[in-house]
Amino acid sequence: MVVEIVQDTCTGCGECLPFCTVGAISLGEGAAKVDADLCVECRLCVRFSVCPTGSIRATEIEEHDPRSVRRISDPTMVKATGLPGRGTEEVKTNDVTGRVGLGQVGFCVELGRPGVSASLADLEKVTTALSRLGVKFQRDNPMMTLLSDPERGLVRDEVKGERVLSTLVEFVAPVDMIEPVLGALKKAAGEVDTVFSVGLITRVDGDGRIPVTGTLEELGIPVRPNSKVNLGLGRPLFEEREV
Ligand code: SF4
Ligand code: SF4
């Protein structure tokens, strides 16, 4: 999809500007225009019908066009990646799927944010840094469709110039990988031109304590625990065991 503004009918009123989360719309001489490189095709400006003259147009593009991966930013869009959303559901429902076992920690790195966005070249800086530590990325995550070589964390050459609103890198690792993983992410943070947040997912131990808290405090990282319990969504698919 390509979002454009019809120059002949746009009055330059500027009403569409605040709707663009990444500042891709600007006012030119008498009319507004969309910077195609910055636009992540979230379609907010189209969906809210903000333009009084109907000048904002979204045009479909071929599915195999590298630009189609920008639609990963649209949570309703599954065509570009074959998977809905930007990450897996499991990241929020570990109590059902048991993806993260005892002695393990799940990592969820969200690269980019609404209002910021991220380039896929920057995604590769993060995924290659993690791959060097032997990290195995979570399958069934839309981000995986952007990689040509998941073992080395390489992004497909044809999409490396594309941008997305945000993308989620997920993986599970033994607890003793916390320090090297956070060290690699801290280094990568200085090399990318966007922001990212890092979430850690763990099981509480038998007495209700969060097992990674001590490690994070030793690293000088403040902990802000957050939990989500899903009731009645299904039976656990996992067997409780040490790994
Ligand atoms: S589709 Fe989204 S990113 Fe593109 S111009 Fe509209 S609001 Fe901005
Ligand atoms: S809201 Fe419509 S008419 Fe106004 S600047 Fe945007 S595109 Fe042009």
- pLDDT tier, 242 (very low <50, low <70, confident <90, very high otherwise): low
- pLDDT tier, 154 (very low <50, low <70, confident <90, very high otherwise): very high
Intra-chain end-to-end CA distance of the chain, in Å: 45
Kindly give the number of the ligand 1 atom that is closest to the alpha carbon of 58: 1
- CA–CA–CA angle 134, 138, 143 (5° rounding): 105
Is the beta carbon of 10 within 6 A of some atom in ligand 2? Answer: yes
Kindly give the number of the ligand 1 atom that is closest to the alpha carbon of 117: 3
Is the beta carbon of 15 within 6 A of some atom in ligand 2? Answer: yes
pLDDT at 114: 79
Calculate how far, in angstroms, residue 6's C-alpha sits from the geometric centre of ligand 1: 14
Query: Rounded mean pLDDT of 1-6?
Result: 93
Kindly give the number of the ligand 2 atom that is closest to the alpha carbon of 14: 5
Cα–Cα distance for residue pair 141/90, rounded to 1 Å: 10
Query: Rounded mean pLDDT of 144-156?
Result: 95
Residues 86 and 72: beta-carbon distance below 8 Å: yes
Residue 176 or residue 114, greater confidence: 176
Residues 61 and 70: beta-carbon distance below 8 Å: no
pLDDT at 64: 85
Which residue CA neighbors atom 6 of ligand 1 most closely? 45
Retrieve residue 203's tokens. 């099981």
Cα–Cα distance for residue pair 212/217, rounded to 1 Å: 9
Q: 0.85 exceeded by the pTM? A: yes
For residue 170, pLDDT over 90 is answered with: yes
pLDDT at 237: 57
Residue 1 or residue 237, greater confidence: 1
Helix (H, G, I), strand (E, B) or coil at 222: coil
E strands present in 45-123: 56-59, 104-111, 118-119
Domains of the chain, by residue range, sit at 2-60, 82-218
Residues 147 and 153: beta-carbon distance below 8 Å: yes
For residue 239, pLDDT over 70 is answered with: no
Is the beta carbon of 178 within 6 A of some atom in ligand 2? Answer: no
How many CA atoms does the CB half-sphere of 34 hold within 13 Å? 26
Cα–Cα distance for residue pair 67/164, rounded to 1 Å: 10
Domain 82-218 in this protein, CATH class: alpha beta
Q: Which amino acid is at 88?
A: T
Which residue CA neighbors atom 8 of ligand 1 most closely? 20
Retrieve residue 30's tokens. 């008498």
pLDDT tens sequence across 12-35? 999 999 999 899 999 988 899 999
Which residue CA neighbors atom 3 of ligand 2 most closely? 10
118-119/25-27 β-pairing: unpaired
Q: Which fold has domain 2-60?
A: Alpha-Beta Plaits (3.30.70)
The mean pLDDT of the chain is 87
pLDDT tens sequence across 195-227? 999 989 888 888 888 889 999 999 998 888 877
Instruction: State the ligand closest to the CA atom of 16.
Output: 2
Q: Which amino acid is at 177?
A: M
Which residue CA neighbors atom 1 of ligand 2 most closely? 51
The residues facing 164 across adjacent strands are 118
Instruction: State the ligand closest to the CA atom of 45.
Output: 1
Is the beta carbon of 5 within 6 A of some atom in ligand 2? Answer: yes
For residue 241, pLDDT over 60 is answered with: no
The answer for residues whose C-beta is within 8 angstroms of residue 30's C-beta and 6 or more apart is 10, 12
pLDDT at 103: 87
Which residue CA neighbors atom 6 of ligand 2 most closely? 16
Cα–Cα distance for residue pair 167/148, rounded to 1 Å: 16
Calculate how far, in angstroms, residue 202's C-alpha sits from the geometric centre of ligand 1: 36
pLDDT at 232: 59
The preferred substitution site among 8, 9, 16, 45 for testing ligand 2, maximizing ligand atoms within 8 Å of CB, is 16
Query: Rounded mean pLDDT of 62-75?
Result: 82
Query: Rounded mean pLDDT of 180-201?
Result: 94
